[in-house]
Structure 1
Amino acid sequence: MSSLSDEEITKVHRVRKTCFEMLRDRGYEVEDSEMQMTRKEFIDKFNGTVRREDLTFLKSKPDNSDQIFVFFPDDLKIGVKIIKNYIIRMENENVWRAIVVVRHGLTPSAKACQAEIAGRFQVEVFQEAELLVNIRYHDLVPEHLPLTNVEKKALLDKYTVKEAQLPRILPTDPVARYYGLRRGQVVKILRPIETGTSEKDKDDFDSNKRDRKEEICYVTYRIVGREQQGGLLVRQVEINEPGAVNESAGGAEGVVCHQKDRKARAGQIG
């Protein structure tokens, strides 16, 4: 198997970087050096010969409670044999979650295999094109913070609502997929307040997502699940919390958007 072309090396370098960022946002341990690796360092790491199969890596959460493989198959179309080989490796190493980064997609039989083993193994599939840029840092994507089970219960108790009453976010939503969210998980969504916000503050919010200063945000919540069927008469409750400059200050209940809070919570995402 020959090394990738210069163009392909540039592509997989960016894709792998996004994978590292995505796993850190899910609470896995990822070194800064891995996310900040330059293209030259990336090539040197593989002694000048970069192959997709060699890009595979394994990451763990701080308490080793959860591990995840990231596979980079070389085949254009991924068949059932490749998926089964990955499952065998995962089973041998007691790893129950994996991300498969494909160039085009899965064959119908591979998709059927993925669905068949879903009860025991969680195998997510992303196309390389989806990972060339990190959707989380897109200007039009608001901040999403997955809640822990404890935080979810506190939210439902606070507003005396049931899960079925929360507005939905589909499991296929790009941000839900980015965080690997599963049915029943709740995500907090932070949006900047436009009214009364200076143009400079708006610019700061849009352009500095990686290092946000304190920003005033509206907070809403969504639960991961399918769309409600038309025959189900369940009243949905939209929970909106107005932002505040400081949570500890008096006045309206709200939240401060800033990067420290995001990083501190990353390890809590389950």
Structure 2
Amino acid sequence: MDEGNDARSKEVVRLWRAWRTAHEMIADRRSTDEGSSQSSCLGSERLVRLMLGSRRCDLRVRVLMRQQEYELAEDEIKISLDRFRSDYCNPDGSVNRGKLQFSARPSDAMLRKNTPPKTDSDPDPTPDCGPVWVEFLSDTSFGVGQIRNFAKYIITNQYKTGIMITHGALSPAARKSLASVENLAKIECFLEEDLLVNITHHELVPRHVLLSREEKTALLKRYRLKETQLPRILQKDPVARYLGLKRGQVVKIIRTSETAGRYASYRLCV
């Protein structure tokens, strides 16, 4: 095999892993009832493992969407490397990044769970979740123009969240541009290399579960706490980014100890 073919083959595998991880990431972002059974938790972990890679990224992202109760087809989640080559590669064997894009919509059950209760001031509350759009950008440089075009697409098509995956770092100006549109659309940015491995599958990373609004309220009431009294997790923390945490959300972190067995702690995203 010549060097060109070898490089293309490595790129295919790399993007396949990132593609799967991206799907796993989306599937992992649903809120999970604290009262869910252990088998339910284990099932969610298996789904996450499916979703993080390009083939692995693609599967990981789609599995994540499934765990959040995003509507995804089984064959999308379990895509094989051979099918990834067939569906997303050019005749010369290189990956066509223009095809590496997908969307997912939350199920009715997910929408109900993530809709705040009606009040006199807000009789028709908007769900906290919504459609998500994921795209692998093919541009060789990533500046303000790419951010604006991506944000315009997300807003025009009424996506709740947009995830852009790049193979190069954003310019400082592009990062400032991201902050300027955050009131209009939630846009997240990942490097392809960040998704080659699903960090939540590492044995040293405990399971993180996002609490729903009601679960957070019940937690604070049970322990008679203000949310500012909870330990914190930074929004830029790798697992917080993977889960798409917003400031003010709370995650339950489940650890296993040889002496204490299985125990949980809670952190507030800041």
Q: TM-score, normalised by structure 1?
A: 0.71
- Whole-Å separation in 2 of the counterparts to 1:112 and 1:56: 24
Aligned residue pair count: 204
Check the 8 A contact 2:254/2:262 in 1, yes or no.
yes
- Whole-Å separation in 1 of the counterparts to 2:100 and 2:167: 14
Equivalent positions of 1:5-44 (< 5 A) are 5-26=8-29, 27=68, 28-44=70-86
- The offset of 1:93, in angstroms, is 1.1
SS at match of 1:111: helix
1:155 pairs with 2:219: yes
SS at match of 2:163: strand
1:192 pairs with 2:256: yes
1:69 pairs with 2:114: no
SS at match of 2:104: strand
- The offset of 1:176, in angstroms, is 0.7
Q: Write the letter of the residue equivalent to 2:86.
A: D
Q: Which residue of 1 aligns with 2:246?
A: 182
1:173 pairs with 2:246: no
Q: Which residue of 2 aligns with 1:114?
A: 178
- Whole-Å separation in 1 of the counterparts to 2:171 and 2:255: 39
Check the 8 A contact 2:89/2:96 in 1, yes or no.
no
SS at match of 1:78: coil
Check the 8 A contact 2:90/2:96 in 1, yes or no.
no
Q: Which residue of 2 aligns with 1:221?
A: 266
Q: Write the letter of the residue equivalent to 1:57.
A: F
Moved over 4 A (4+): none
Root-mean-square deviation (Å) = 1.8
Unaligned runs of 5+ in 2: 30-67, 112-128
Cα gap change, 1:118/1:99 in structure 2, threshold over 3 Å: closer, same or farther?
same
Q: Write the letter of the residue equivalent to 1:52.
A: R
- The offset of 1:38, in angstroms, is 1.1
Cα deviation digits, residues 40-84 of structure 1 (max 9, x gap): 011112365531121011111113750111111112331111121
Q: Which residue of 1 aligns with 2:99?
A: 54
- The offset of 1:167, in angstroms, is 0.5
- Whole-Å separation in 1 of the counterparts to 2:79 and 2:182: 33
Check the 8 A contact 1:60/1:66 in 2, yes or no.
yes
Q: Write the letter of the residue equivalent to 1:128.
A: E
Check the 8 A contact 1:15/1:128 in 2, yes or no.
yes
- The offset of 1:85, in angstroms, is 1.4
Check the 8 A contact 1:96/1:120 in 2, yes or no.
no
SS at match of 1:106: coil
SS at match of 1:161: coil
- The offset of 1:33, in angstroms, is 2.1
Q: Which residue of 1 aligns with 2:32?
A: none
Which of the two has greater helix per residue? Answer: 2
Q: Which has the larger radius of gyration?
A: 1
Cα deviation digits, residues 93-152 of structure 1 (max 9, x gap): 111311111112111221121110011111111111110011111111001111000000
